[in-house]
């Protein structure tokens, strides 16, 4: 089966509020089929797609008073090396500074998360973001179910038995398994 992609981030702690939005989606000016082409070629995109939530704009307690927490992330190939992840994140960081020129002077600290962090936390072997990919042949009625050929062994999590986004698909899977076990 096919893995999902990795999701890698640059996190910025800012001493003041720079980004006024709850979340920023940056799409490079490319034909849609080119935006994620680097995921197949294991290369560094010139201009990466960026998904940049600003958690402290939802909950100010997530940063010291007046400060801001920004998380700029992008997709990387499943199984990407540390070197490739960091090269992609260099481009993300450069684009974020272009988009928000006042950000650099406000940075108190920054950190990164790469595939190896996801591997360490989740035991997903390729550092993939949600487990099995949501691609034709692995979604809807063709997504794996909870049951296995081993009696009493059931599967649960993003990989099986539900649909939706990341945490939504994982909790949907748990609810579906609970219903199954309860005979609902």
Ligand X SMILES: Cc1cc2nc3c(=O)[nH]c(=O)nc-3n(C[C@H](O)[C@H](O)[C@H](O)COP(=O)(O)OP(=O)(O)OC[C@H]3O[C@@H](n4cnc5c(N)ncnc54)[C@H](O)[C@@H]3O)c2cc1C
Q: Give the SS3 label for residue 60.
A: helix
**Does 115 participate in binding ligand X (rule CB under 6 A)?**
no
Provide the 3-class DSSP secondary structure of residue 24: strand
Among 89, 130, 133, 177, binds ligand X (CB under 6 A): 130
Distance of CA 8 to the CA centre of its chain: 6
Task: Considering the complex, state which of residue 27 and residue 121 has its C-beta at the smaller distance from ligand X.
Answer: 121
Cβ proximity to ligand X, 80 vs 106, nearer residue: 80
Of 136-165, which residues contact ligand X (CB under 6 A)?
157-158, 165
**Residues 47, 49, 55, 56, Cα dihedral to 10°:** 30
Q: Residue 84 or residue 106: which is nearer to ligand X going by CB? A: 84
* Residue 170: DSSP 8-state: H
In the bound complex, what is the minimum distance in angstroms from residue 153's beta carbon to ligand X? 13
- Contact residue for ligand X among 105, 167, 178, 181 (CB under 6 A): 167
d(CA 84, CA 82): 6
Q: Please tell me whether residue 5 binds ligand X under the rule CB under 6 A.
A: no
Number of C-beta neighbours around residue 157 at 10 A:
17
What is residue 95's DSSP assignment?
A: H
Check residue 151 and report its DSSP letter: T
Cβ 65 to ligand X, closest distance in Å? 25
> To the nearest whole angstrom, how small is the minimum distance from the Cβ of residue 64 to ligand X?
23
Q: Is 23 in the site for ligand X (CB under 6 A)?
A: no
Size of the site for ligand X (CB under 6 A): 15
> Could you tell me if 144 and 156 are in contact, meaning their C-beta atoms sit under 8 angstroms apart?
no
The residues of the shown chain that bind ligand X, judged by CB under 6 A, are 7, 113, 118, 122-123, 129-131, 157-158, 165-168, 170
């Amino acid at each position: 089966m096919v893995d999902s992609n990795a999701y890698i981030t640059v996190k910025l702690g800012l001493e003041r509020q720079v980004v006024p939005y709850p979340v920023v989606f940056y799409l490079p000016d490319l034909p849609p089929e080119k935006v994620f082409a680097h995921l197949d070629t294991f290369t560094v995109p010139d201009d990466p797609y960026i998904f940049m939530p600003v958690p402290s704009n939802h909950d100010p307690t997530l940063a010291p008073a007046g400060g801001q927490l920004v998380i700029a992330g992008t997709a990387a190939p499943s199984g990407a090396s540390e070197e490739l992840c960091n090269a992609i994140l260099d481009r993300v960081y450069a684009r974020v500074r272009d988009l928000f020129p006042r950000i650099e002077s406000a940075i108190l600290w920054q950190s990164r998360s790469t595939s190896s962090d996801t591997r360490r936390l989740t035991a997903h072997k390729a550092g993939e973001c949600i487990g099995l990919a949501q691609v034709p042949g692995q979604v809807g009625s063709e997504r794996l179910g909870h049951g296995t050929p081993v009696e009493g062994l059931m599967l649960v999590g993003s990989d099986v038995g539900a649909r939706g986004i990341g945490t939504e698909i994982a909790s949907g899977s748990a609810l579906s398994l609970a219903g199954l076990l309860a005979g609902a």
